[in-house]
């Protein structure tokens, strides 16, 4: 029997970090240190009393814009069948098409799209990965939050050891500093500290093509799992060229905000690792669309951030992926993900498997409601 979306609640949430962090974009003067994550939560209620929860996020800027955009178009979803997720997605996309179909527009819609997938899986009483069709019950997991550039080498080592002791299987650290020799010193220190533990590096788009080639050549000897965002995120051709030249895999994609932007990598002949981010690409619906194309192209997958969503999506990918661990969003949820033996494990809870905490409510600075409660 068909159902209808009866009510939507949007919540604008600001979550401060315990300590500011800096990547290469800060050291090159392009951004300020990151001090908070701003999130857009959507809660869905249907005529039959079913519920779903989803979120998107922004860092440094854009959170208010995401909230404002969805608040302007959310009414379009009221009365629609929540099972028709792609139909709802397209109606929202076209409702705000005058500002584009990527960027803030798609990121705003993502929160509702995720909530509808959560609802659909809850209705089936299945974890989201099982609803879609899981290939595995756990995924390899690596931690990034301890590897930012404001941390000293000793601090970085301590955090890496703590992550490994907690059951995490790999460590990623930031590079891309103006003085490239400092990058090599930090990578050398971490490789010596970690031994054969999987290690990744992330330049956060701060090299030009010439510097990227030189750095990728220098980094080959460290047996890295990947070198992430060596170039500007939109330089599909440059990333594709690097992926053909070096043995160390190249990874990119986290900053792209639509399926066409990601497809530019495949069209350019990219052979590296793709890192789509469901809240950024526009939600689970476009994420799955691109994942199908990426799998067809034989690309490896390592989704960016938002492990609460990406564990489920990574578990459905045909080849073994990596999932990124960030503990930053933990205060917003009552549940925790099980991590041990270097892997992140799916829970048996239906949907995404999370309920919103009192801290999430306390951090909410603005709400909007649509339809009948």
Please, are residues 230 and 215 in contact by the beta-carbon 8 Å criterion? Answer: yes
The yes-or-no answer on residue 12 being catalytic is no
Q: Which two tokens stand for residue 313?
A: 């999506």
Q: Which two tokens stand for residue 137?
A: 């019950």
Q: Would you say 75 is a known binding-site residue?
A: no
Q: Would you say 172 is a known binding-site residue?
A: yes
Q: Would you say 202 is a known binding-site residue?
A: yes
Q: Would you say 228 is a known binding-site residue?
A: yes
Q: Would you say 341 is a known binding-site residue?
A: no
Residue 185 vs residues 2, 180, 192: alpha-carbon distances, Å: 60, 9, 11
Q: Would you say 182 is a known binding-site residue?
A: no
Please, are residues 18 and 78 in contact by the beta-carbon 8 Å criterion? Answer: no
Q: Would you say 324 is a known binding-site residue?
A: yes
Q: Would you say 204 is a known binding-site residue?
A: yes
Question: Which residue of the set 130, 174, 312, 325 is catalytic?
Answer: 174
Please, are residues 198 and 169 in contact by the beta-carbon 8 Å criterion? Answer: yes
The yes-or-no answer on residue 174 being catalytic is yes
Question: Which residue of the set 130, 304, 310, 325 is catalytic?
Answer: 304
Q: Which two tokens stand for residue 106?
A: 């798609």
Instruction: Please tell me the number of Cα atoms within 13 Å of 14 on its side-chain side.
Output: 11
Q: Where are the beta strands (DSSP E) in 276-372?
A: 300-301, 322-325, 338-340, 343-345, 364-371
Annotated binding site for substrate: 23-25, 59-60, 172, 204, 324
**Residue stretches of the annotated binding site for Mg(2+):** 202, 228, 254
Question: Which residues are marked as active site?
Answer: 174, 304
């Amino acid at each position: 029997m068909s159902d209808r979306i009866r009510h939507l609640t949007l919540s604008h949430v600001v979550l401060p970090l315990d300590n500011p962090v800096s990547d290469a974009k800060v050291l090159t003067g392009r951004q300020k240190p990151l001090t908070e994550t701003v999130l857009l939560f959507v809660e869905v209620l249907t005529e039959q009393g079913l519920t779903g929860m989803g979120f998107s996020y922004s860092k440094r800027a854009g959170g208010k814009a995401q909230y404002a955009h969805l608040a302007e178009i959310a009414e379009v979803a009221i009365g629609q069948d929540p099972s028709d997720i792609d139909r709802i997605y397209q109606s929202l996309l076209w409702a705000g098409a005058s500002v584009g179909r990527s960027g803030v527009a798609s990121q705003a819609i993502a929160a509702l799209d995720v909530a509808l997938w959560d609802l659909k899986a809850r209705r089936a009483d299945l974890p989201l990965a099982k609803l879609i069709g899981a290939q595995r019950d756990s995924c390899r997991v690596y931690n990034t939050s301890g590897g930012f550039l404001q941390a000293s080498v000793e601090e970085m080592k301590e955090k890496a050891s703590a992550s490994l002791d907690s059951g995490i299987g790999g460590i990623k650290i930031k590079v891309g500093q103006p003085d490239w020799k400092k990058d090599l010193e930090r990578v050398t220190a971490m490789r010596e500290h970690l031994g054969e533990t999987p290690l990744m590096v992330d330049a956060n788009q701060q090299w030009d093509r010439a510097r990227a080639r030189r750095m990728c050549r220098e980094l080959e000897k460290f047996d890295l799992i990947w070198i992430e965002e060596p170039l500007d995120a939109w330089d599909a051709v440059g990333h594709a060229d690097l992926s053909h030249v070096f043995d160390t895999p190249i990874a990119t994609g986290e900053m792209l905000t639509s399926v066409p932007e990601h497809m530019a990598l495949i069209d350019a002949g990219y052979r590296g690792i793709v890192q789509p981010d469901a809240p950024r690409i526009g939600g689970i619906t476009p994420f799955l669309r691109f994942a199908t194309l990426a799998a067809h192209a034989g690309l490896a997958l390592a989704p960016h951030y938002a492990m609460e969503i990406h564990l489920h999506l990574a578990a459905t990918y045909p080849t073994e992926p990596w999932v990124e661990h960030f503990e930053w969003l933990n205060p917003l949820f009552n549940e925790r993900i099980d991590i041990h033996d270097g892997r992140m494990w799916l829970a048996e809870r239906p949907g995404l498997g999370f309920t919103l905490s009192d801290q999430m409510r306390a951090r909410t600075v603005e709400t909007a409601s649509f339809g009948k409660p």
